[in-house]
Amino acid sequence: MIQDYTVEKVMDARNSFCPGPLMELIKSIKKGEVDKIYEVWSKDGGSIRDIPKWVDKAKHEMVAVIEENGYTRFQVRKTR
Amino acid sequence: MSKNKTKVLILGGGTGGVIVANLLGRKAKKQAEVTLISNQENVFYEADLPYRVFDKKSLDSQFKPVRKVVNKRVTVLNEEVISLDVENQSVSLKSGASIPYDYLVIATGAHYDYDAVPGFKESAYHFYNEEGIIELRKALNDFVENGKDGKVRNVVVGIADLPFKCPVAPLEGAFMMEHFLRRKKIRKTTNLHYLSPIGGAFSIEQANVHIEKKFKKKNINLHTFFNTETIHTDRKIIESLEGDEIEYDLLLMVPPHRGQDYLNGTPIIDESGWVNVNIKTLQNEDYPNIFAIGDAANLPVSKAGSSAHYQAIATAHNLIDVVKGKFDISQVKERYDGHATCLVMTSLTSAMFFDFNYNRAPFGLGYISNRLFYYFKKYQRFLYFYGFLSGRM
């Protein structure tokens, strides 16, 4: 799949445990610009549950959830 | 002191720094010249601070002079570090002195940045230091007095920003507040709210189930994914990054934590000022002669006294082996496994016990809230000053 958008910032949180990856994402979105896409990498199983729930609650947009070898990449667009 | 000795410099006279100093002072006395620099004259015992809000006793017993709890072979300087030069291996002090080191242990903890969240300074109370506790005690007293009129009011317990020291502390604050309000006979007219920045009340799922069960039983309203953005003092409303709003009459909130200023501009910290270290060796990977432990370190584990305690023991043993020539600094062992221990107050007279590490959740028996764990928590202070700080336990 060819990605037709640019990711503003990638946070590698594979060394972190839940809720670390979510917190990395929140920190970047808080500081970031509207419409930009932020990506966080996590290998903690809890992120699969927590990150989409938070994105939904905070009314941002989950652009993609990409499964890699042993970790997951979450791409989120800041919408407000 | 011998010129041939290896210079080990420890920054910070809290739990982690004192334990490293004591172990090195005792076990590497022939090989290491150990110096500890602290900007505080006293070691401050913090583990029972949430509890101390609700008793009216003096806080004097929380303190012991650093000099008294540190091994006599260790040089203790009551000074403030103003900068660190990692290339030239030295720190500069406010007094103008410069102290060189061969190995450095950073254990200077976190500082509270009350301005980091708008409205915090004007509106929120906390129990993270002596001044905070004294102010909170007064505010609670007023709240109880006002509560006699029978009007319904909101007490909110929350977290201003992440990360913060001791993830169970605000939970304890909520549980003890609930019991306190019952004792004062104003629980029925007080709505108690808990604001959690994550998807549950606690980060470890197995423990979270038990915490949330207790919240339900005690009628504490849990608000998840509530990351504090602004406290509107005029309207008495807390607004979250997610767009929620909660009204408060009394706000008890963990203050925003940040890394220490003297580390700013050094190449060893992350964006928030925490020292980057390997999660198992606690060593900075670019500057292997620098270790960081406790709240100062950027680790995926609770910032808490117990973690600092285990990290200090791991770091001290690595340094002892290095200065004794057992192995090179590039070969330090992965001695820290993420171990943390918490006695979690679940009322003013009961507690749970969590013991966990990077790979293991707390044991099942620890979830049983009981009086025995409460007594451990109540008297742990003595064990801390006369046992833990020595590094023997």
**Gap between the terminal Cα atoms of chain B:** 29
Distances in Å between the alpha carbon of B154 and those of B128, B183, B221, B346?
A: 22, 17, 11, 20
Per the structure, the complete domain to which residue B194 belongs is given by 120-257
- Regarding whether B295 and B237 lie in a shared domain, the answer is no
Using the structure block, give the residue that is written with the tokens 């994105």. Answer: A55
CA distance B155 to B130: 21
Provide the CATH number for the domain around residue B196: 3.50.50.60
Distance of CA B274 to the CA centre of its chain: 14
Query: Quick one: tokens of A24?
Result: 């990395």
Domain endpoint, select from B257, B272, B298: B257
Whether the CB-CB separation of B162 and B197 falls below 8 Å is answered with yes
CA distance A31 to A9: 11
Q: Is a pLDDT exceeding 80 seen at residue A1? A: no
Which of A17, A26, A53 faces B227 most closely, judged by CB atoms?
Answer: A26
Q: What is the pLDDT along chain B (393 residues), one digit of tens a residue?
A: 456 899 999 999 999 999 999 999 999 999 999 999 999 999 999 999 999 999 989 999 999 999 999 999 999 999 999 999 999 999 999 999 999 999 999 999 999 999 999 999 999 999 999 999 999 999 999 999 999 999 999 999 999 999 999 999 999 999 999 999 999 999 999 999 999 999 999 999 899 999 999 999 999 999 999 999 999 999 999 999 999 999 999 999 999 999 999 999 999 999 889 999 999 999 999 999 999 999 999 999 989 999 999 999 999 999 999 999 999 999 999 999 999 999 999 999 999 999 999 999 998 889 999 999 999 999 999 999 999 999 999
Closest-CA residue of chain B to A22: B198
- Regarding whether B247 and B128 lie in a shared domain, the answer is yes
pLDDT value, residue B56: 82
pLDDT value, residue A4: 81
- Regarding whether B27 and B150 lie in a shared domain, the answer is no
- Regarding whether B222 and B127 lie in a shared domain, the answer is yes
pLDDT value, residue B272: 87
Residue B389 within a domain: no
Which of B241, B300, B358 faces A30 most closely, judged by CB atoms?
Answer: B241
Residue B369 within a domain: no
Per the structure, the complete domain to which residue A64 belongs is given by 7-77
String of DSSP letters for A22-52: HHHHHHHHHHS-TT-EEEEEE--HHHHHHHH
- Regarding whether B228 and B311 lie in a shared domain, the answer is no
The H or E element spanning position B85 is strand B81-85
pLDDT value, residue A15: 86
A19 with B197: Cβ contact below 8 A = yes
What burial class does residue A1 get, using C-beta atoms within 10 Å of its C-beta: 0-12 exposed, 13-18 middle, 19+ buried? exposed
CA distance A14 to A41: 6
Using the structure block, give the residue that is written with the tokens 């938070």. Answer: A54
Measured from the Cβ of residue A50, the count of other Cβ atoms closer than 10 Å reads 23
Using the structure block, give the residue that is written with the tokens 């423990």. Answer: B207
Closest-CA residue of chain B to A29: B241
A54 with B242: Cβ contact below 8 A = yes
Residue A73 within a domain: yes
Residue B83 within a domain: yes
Residue B149 within a domain: yes
Q: Which of B271, B300, B227, B199 minimizes the C-alpha distance to A26? A: B227
Q: In chain A, which residues have their Cβ closer than 8 Å to the Cβ of B242? A: 54, 57-59
Q: Which of B195, B198, B299 to mutate to test the interface with A (most CBs of A within 10 A)?
A: B198
pLDDT value, residue B105: 98
Q: In chain B, which residues have their Cβ closer than 8 Å to the Cβ of A53? A: 199, 225
Residue B18 within a domain: yes
Query: Quick one: tokens of B167?
Result: 């993830």
- Regarding whether B100 and B143 lie in a shared domain, the answer is no
pLDDT value, residue B29: 95
The count of structural domains within chain A is 1
A1 catalytic residue (yes or no): no
Q: Identity (one letter) of the amino acid at B213?
A: K
CA distance B8 to B36: 9
Residue A2 within a domain: no
The single-letter DSSP state of residue B5 is: S
The count of structural domains within chain B is 2
Provide the CATH number for the domain around residue A65: 3.30.110.40
Q: In chain B, which residues have their Cβ closer than 8 Å to the Cβ of A54? A: 199, 225, 242
pLDDT value, residue B181: 98
Domain endpoint, select from B210, B238, B257: B257
Q: Is a pLDDT exceeding 90 seen at residue A2? A: no
Residue A1 within a domain: no
pLDDT value, residue B344: 96
Residue A58 within a domain: yes
Instruction: Give tens-digit pLDDT for B303-339.
Output: 999 999 999 999 999 999 999 999 999 999 999 999 9
CA distance B393 to B78: 26
Residue A13 within a domain: yes
The H or E element spanning position B134 is helix B130-147
pLDDT value, residue A66: 96
- Regarding whether B205 and B307 lie in a shared domain, the answer is no
- Regarding whether B235 and B130 lie in a shared domain, the answer is yes
Residue B387 within a domain: no
Q: In chain B, which residues have their Cβ closer than 8 Å to the Cβ of A17? A: 203, 300-301, 358
